[in-house]
Amino acid sequence: MLAVFPGLVAAATPIAKVLQMLSDLEQKIIKEGETSQKMYEEFAEWCEDKSSTLGNDITTGQSEVKSLKAGIAKDTASISSLGMRIEDLANELGVDQADLKAATEIRSKEASVFGAAEKELMETVDTLQRAISIIEHEMKGGASMMQLKSAASITQALSVLVQASAISGADAGKLNAFIQNSDEDAEPGAPAGAVYVSHSSDILETLSNLLEKAEEQLADLRSRETTDLHNFAMLKQSLEDEISYGAKELAEAKKNMATSSESKSAGEGDLQRTSKELSVDVQARADLHQTCMTKAEDFEAETKSRAEELKALAEAKKVLKETTSGAEAVNYGLNQVSFVQVSRSGLTSTTDLASYEAVRFVRDLADKEHSASLAQLAERMVTAMRHSAGTSDPFAKVKGLIRDMISKLESEAEADASEKVWCDRNLADARNSKAEKTDEIAKLSTKIDGMAVKSAQLKEQVAALQASLAKLAKSQAAMNAMRSQENALFASNTADTEKGLQGVKLALKILSEYYASEEKAHDAAAGAGEGIIGLLEVIESDLTKGLAEMKMSEEAAVAEYERESKENEIEKTTKEQDVKYKTKESMDLDSAAAELSSDRSSAQTELDAVSGYLATLEKRCVAKAETHAQRAARFAAEITGLKEALRILQDETALVQWRSTRRVFRGQAPLKA
């Protein structure tokens, strides 16, 4: 019969209670070990997955870095080759344009020459045709040349033909002879008309031959013009095609160069970002390895400690069972425990038993779930039962406490579920915002770095140009000083030479006039004077020649100075413009970079705010020893347990066996253990 209440019998002696506590502790340690083993297995699996993911990320990052470096090298080579190609295309395009211009000018001159020649030949042909027509007409009339009304016209026509450049020398001679004969025959007493008809036949044959030659020359000239025009059209079309294709190819090369430059800049930015991410992944894998190794060592030490604790508990239980059985029988045996002792414990009715069971159930639940609130509820239940003894419903207050606790736990569970939804939503938003801001900052950093590099290059070029301008100014100043000195020396030398030349001329004039006069001092003096005059003439010639050479040298020096000064001025203007444009471009880049830096600072401020907010959210929602699932399970277990305790209090029919047991205890002798 005592088997109906094993908990009551076990609690009859302190040793039994100790053994029960040891067994419970063993079960608790074993359960903790199982839970720890499961958590460690999950952690080990997470370590493996995380390490595999980081390994893949590192491999991918290394591959991307290698690919980006290869792409940058390819773009660099492409930029270099395209630069040379652009230079070659520009030179070829300039040559083709110059050839087209020259060919057009030559064609224009050829067309002008052809027009003049064609006009002249056409006039010649026309003149010959008219002359032949006139002669044939007059020959049919049978009159003499002097009697012909058109004789003057024929002579005039033949004179024009003689002067025409298209008539050969022999033909011109025949025409001249014919004209002369015509003039002679026109004198009084000339022969009859038959003679002139004979002459007309000769000249007609000559004119016909000339007309045929003129027409052949005109046809040849037009044929050559057609051929030249066709050749020019073909050449022009070829050059225009080459220019068009060259311009298109040049534009394409420039476009490809710009694309390669942009691709190189983007690649360099991506390389910097990828390298940074790769180093972060490498460091993360090292940290992960250290964390996992530490966790493994802690788990191993914990498992070893738990095994030692279980061993100690087993030994304690063994010792208690082996050494205290006799003392337990003597001091705490059931043959010494009467129902009166049980009655003194307070369990005198079904109500007391129900209260005991409910309190014990809540306490066990508090121990199981490690809930301080449930432990406090158990104490409040005991106090309430103590103060409610003897009332019509001693469980009313206890039921109210349990119902309140159930409501509280249900409210907490519902609030925790709402908190979970809120946390999931806000964590996702915060993480997305952080990723967006991080990506925005990376892109801005890439642009800023590209602008900084280009600005630095421009500043270096400006510095080089300014140094070159300073050197050019120094060279021009030195050249100005040298020119000034040369001019001063020329002026001095020219003045001295001209003065000396005037003196020599004056002396030469005096001596020449003196020795040229009839009255001379003596013959010897005249001979010496002539020698002096000859020498002075040589000196005069040398001085004149020297003065001319000095002027020519000065003019050449001035021309060279002006040429070099002009070149220096052009170079100075060009470089000053380059300095101006490059400085402006550098300043524009710095200004744009400053604006982007401001944008990046704003983005960084926003990122810091988002990171801080995310850290707060993670601390609130993630950084807890107990997950939402664990909390939900705990709430469910506690609520279920409290409902069970409430059921025990409400269902007293389960204690019927207790009443019958009491009657049996009262009517029988004490049982042995």
pLDDT, tens digit, for every residue of 600-636?
A: 999 899 889 988 888 888 887 764 545 666 667 766 7
Quick one: three-class SS letters along 582-627? HHHHHHHHHHHHHHHHHHHHHHHHHHHHHHHHHHHHHHHHCCCCCC
| Residue type at position 508 | L
Rounded to whole angstroms, how far apart are CA atoms 22 and 528? 159
Rounded to whole angstroms, how far apart are CA atoms 597 and 265? 18
Dihedral sign, Cα of residue 394, residue 400, residue 403, residue 409: negative
Dihedral sign, Cα of residue 411, residue 417, residue 420, residue 426: negative
For residue 519, give the DSSP letter: -
Rounded to whole angstroms, how far apart are CA atoms 638 and 199? 153
| Residue type at position 528 | A
Q: What is the pLDDT of residues 214-225, one digit of tens each?
A: 889 989 989 998
Report the length, in residues, of the chain. 673
241 and 96 in contact (C-beta within 8 Å)? no
Q: Which of 618, 637, 617, 640 is nearest to 629 (CA)?
A: 637
Rounded to whole angstroms, how far apart are CA atoms 392 and 396? 9
Q: Which of 635, 480, 503, 646 is nearest to 565 (CA)?
A: 480
Residue 369: count other Cβ atoms within 10 Å of its Cβ.
17
Residue 432 phi/psi, 5-degree rounding, is: -65, -40
269-279 residues labelled b (16+ CB within 10 A) or e (exposed): bbbebbbebbe
For residue 164, give the DSSP letter: -
105-112 contacts, C-beta under 8 A, 24 or more apart: 107/228, 107/229, 107/232, 110/225, 110/228, 110/232, 111/225, 111/229
Domain residue extents for the chain: 110-265, 419-621
CA–CA–CA angle 368, 372, 374 (5° rounding): 70
| Residue type at position 141 | G
CA–CA–CA angle 601, 603, 609 (5° rounding): 105
| Residue type at position 623 | A
Helix and strand element counts for the chain (H, E): 13, 0
Cβ-based neighbours of 169, under 8 Å, separated by 6 or more: none
pLDDT of residue 210: 87
How many Å is the maximal CA-CA distance in the chain?
207
Q: Which two tokens stand for residue 232?
A: 């020019």
Rounded to whole angstroms, how far apart are CA atoms 209 and 189? 32
pLDDT of residue 171: 53
Mean pLDDT by 10 residues, the chain (673 residues): 38 60 79 86 86 87 88 89 89 89 90 91 88 79 44 51 50 55 48 49 81 90 90 89 88 89 88 87 88 87 82 72 54 40 44 62 70 71 64 62 73 72 84 89 91 91 91 91 91 88 83 66 55 79 88 91 91 90 90 91 90 84 60 69 65 43 41 34
Rounded to whole angstroms, how far apart are CA atoms 520 and 406? 164
CA distances from 607 to 171, 422, 602 (A): 106, 21, 8
Query: For 41, what's the count of Cα atoms within 13 Å in the CB-facing half-sphere?
Result: 6
CA distances from 518 to 244, 507, 528 (A): 90, 19, 16
For residue 168, give the DSSP letter: -
Cβ-based neighbours of 222, under 8 Å, separated by 6 or more: 118
Alpha carbon 43 to its chain centroid, in Å, reads 42
Q: Which two tokens stand for residue 597?
A: 């830096």
Rounded to whole angstroms, how far apart are CA atoms 174 and 142? 23
Residue 61: count other Cβ atoms within 10 Å of its Cβ.
20
Rounded to whole angstroms, how far apart are CA atoms 148 and 141? 9
| Residue type at position 651 | D
Rounded to whole angstroms, how far apart are CA atoms 145 and 158? 14
Q: Which two tokens stand for residue 356?
A: 């005991």
Q: Which of 107, 329, 328 is nearest to 227 (CA)?
A: 107
3-state DSSP assignment of residue 670:
coil
pLDDT of residue 669: 41
Cβ-based neighbours of 665, under 8 Å, separated by 6 or more: 1, 339, 342
| Residue type at position 101 | K
Q: Is 485 left (phi over 0), alpha (psi -120 to 50) or beta?
A: alpha
pLDDT of residue 192: 43
Rounded to whole angstroms, how far apart are CA atoms 340 and 391? 24
Residue recorded with tokens 């026109």 = 186
Residue recorded with tokens 């534009």 = 251
| Residue type at position 135 | I
3-state DSSP assignment of residue 532:
helix
State the fold for domain 419-621.
Helix Hairpins (1.10.287)
Q: What is the pLDDT of residues 255-275, one digit of tens each?
A: 888 988 988 888 888 889 889
pLDDT of residue 273: 84
Q: What is the DSSP string of 301-366?
A: HHHHHHHHHHHHHHHHHHHHHHHSHHHHHHHH-GGG--HHHHHHTT--SHHHHHHHHHHHHHHHHH
Residue 417: count other Cβ atoms within 10 Å of its Cβ.
14
76 and 264 in contact (C-beta within 8 Å)? yes
3-state DSSP assignment of residue 672:
coil
Cβ-based neighbours of 267, under 8 Å, separated by 6 or more: 68, 71, 72, 75
Q: In 169-323, which ranges are continuous DSSP H helix?
A: 169-185, 193-323
pLDDT of residue 336: 41
